[in-house]
Amino acid sequence: MKLYVGTKNLSSWSMRAWLALREADLPFEEEVIPLDTQAATTRLPEVSPSGRVPALEVDETLTIWDSLAIAEWVTETTDVGWPRDPTRRAIARSACAEMHSGFTALRRTMPMDLHGRHPTPPIEGELSRDIRRVLSLWESLRARAASGPYLLGEWTHVDSFFAPVVTRFVTYGVDLPDFARAYSDLVLARPSVQVWFADAKADPWRL
Ligand SMILES: N[C@@H](CCC(=O)N[C@@H](CS)C(=O)NCC(=O)O)C(=O)O
């Protein structure tokens, strides 16, 4: 099984899928495709039907080409990733779907750059709305959490999906309330996240 990912310092969708696989202890090979290079123009369409990463080549008959679909597949294969309780599971899926289809101002104004540090953009308009929504979502998830310190208790796909948002808050120096700061510190200390960070440090590409 092989996961194709983009530049680790920059590719937030790749990070989500990679964390989902890693947190389920699924063994996989990986290939980093440096985005925005001539090599990517050739390689992306070879490995991914959408020409985007992440893409998970399960075997010669199956490639899954979207972060959320990869997360679903991880749970179907291992039973790890979504909470067991049906209510929390539905909430977890809603949170990941919201991340997957929303927060466009946050993603556009504060692109992921793990090891870079950038000035805080003006927190106003759509960006302010997105940040307030992330924080209220995190708070509401914590209010429903089972035992465990992550958004819904133990680590789930929701934490994998919001990990790149945690890194953006650091990269762009966004001030966080105490509960969000504490959660971010936990995410950044998570061994899987630390491995991704270390790999990203070896990336020669920066914003
Ligand atoms: N909805 C997709 C988004 C994938 C995506 O936009 N990937 C970016 C990298 S983070 C990409 O492949 N960009 C390369 C390109 O568009 O040429 C997912 O969740 O997997």
State the chain's maximal CA–CA distance in angstroms.
Answer: 47
DSSP 2: E
The pTM of the whole model exceeds 0.95: yes
Q: Are residues 107 and 166 in the same domain?
A: yes
Let me know if residue 107 belongs to a domain.
yes
Q: Are residues 71 and 128 in the same domain?
A: no
pLDDT tens track for 169-197: 999 999 999 999 999 999 999 999 999 99
Let me know if residue 199 belongs to a domain.
no
Beta strand pairing status for 62-64 and 55-59?
antiparallel
Locate the ligand 1 atom nearest the alpha carbon of residue 66 and give its number: 20
Q: Domain range spanning residue 179? A: 86-193
Let me know if residue 175 belongs to a domain.
yes
Q: Are residues 48 and 144 in the same domain?
A: no
Examine the pLDDT at 97 and tell me if it is beyond 70: yes
- State mean pLDDT over 125-132: 98
Residue of 10, 11, 13, 16 with the most ligand 1 atoms within 8 Å of its CB, for mutation: 13
Rounded CA-CA distance 83/154 in Å is: 8
